[in-house]
Amino acid sequence: MSINKLKGSVTIKIEGRMIEVPENMTVTEALWNTGYDITRGIGCLSGLCGACSMVYRPKGAKRAKFGLGCQTVVQDGMDVIMVPFYPSKTAHYNISELDHPIEKLRDMYPEIDKCTQCGRCTYACPEWIHVSDAVKKSEDGKYEEVSRMMKPCIMCDLCAAVCHEDISPHFVALYIQRALAKEKLMPKRLIERFLNIEAFFNEHEWQKIISMSDKELIKYCQNYE
Contacts to ligand SF4 by CB under 6 A: 50, 115-121, 124-125, 127, 129, 131-132, 135, 153-159, 162-163, 165, 167, 169-170
52, interface contact from ligand SF4, ligand FES, none, CB < 5-8 Å by kind: ligand FES
Could you say whether residue 45 binds ligand FES (CB under 6 A)? yes
- Tell me, rounded to whole angstroms, the distance of Cα 223 from its chain centroid: 39
Cβ proximity of 30 and 12 under 8 Å:
yes
- Of 149 and 158, which has the nearer Cβ to ligand FES? 158
Of 17, 13, 158, 154, nearest in space to 74 by CA: 13
3-state secondary structure of 84: coil
Helix/strand/coil percentages in the chain, nearest 5? 40, 10, 45
Of 94, 58, 93, nearest in space to 74 by CA: 58
Could you say whether residue 47 binds ligand FES (CB under 6 A)? yes
CB 125, min distance to ligand FES, A:
13
Could you tell me which stretch among 37-45, 74-82, 137-145, 213-221 binds ligand FES (CB under 6 A)?
37-45
Please state, in angstroms and as integers, the Cα–Cα distance from residue 117 to each residue in 71, 120, 131, following that order. Answer: 28, 8, 10
What's the DSSP call for residue 52?
T
Could you tell me which stretch among 68-76, 134-142, 172-180, 213-221 binds ligand FES (CB under 6 A)?
68-76
Could you tell me which stretch among 10-18, 66-74, 77-85, 187-195 binds ligand FES (CB under 6 A)?
66-74
CB 115, min distance to ligand SF4, A:
3
Residues binding ligand FES (CB under 6 A): 42-45, 47-52, 68-70
